[in-house]
Amino acid sequence: MVFRSADLEALMEALPQASPRSWVEVRNFRGDVERLEPGTSPTFAEVLSFLVD
């Protein structure tokens, strides 16, 4: 599934208030996966860098 950056940013803003068992995985164009969880997520800028660098 492909999301616009605004959608990803909204998900990341909601993640800190989500259940501790919640998570979101993002995959960059190389196939690398990063799992975002409440309380341990990087900044939006760091995630964008992961996706495009």
d(CA 29, CA 31): 5
Sign of the CA dihedral running 14, 18, 20, 24? negative
- With cut-offs at 50, 70 and 90, classify the pLDDT of residue 31: very high
Over residues 14-26, the pLDDT tens digits come to: 999 999 999 999 9
In the chain, count H helices and then E strands.
Answer: 2, 2
The pTM is what?
0.78
User: What is the residue extent of each domain of the chain?
Assistant: 5-52
Q: What is the mean pLDDT of residues 31-51?
A: 92
Averaged pLDDT score across all residues of the chain: 91
Q: Give CA–CA dist 27/29, Å, rounded.
A: 7
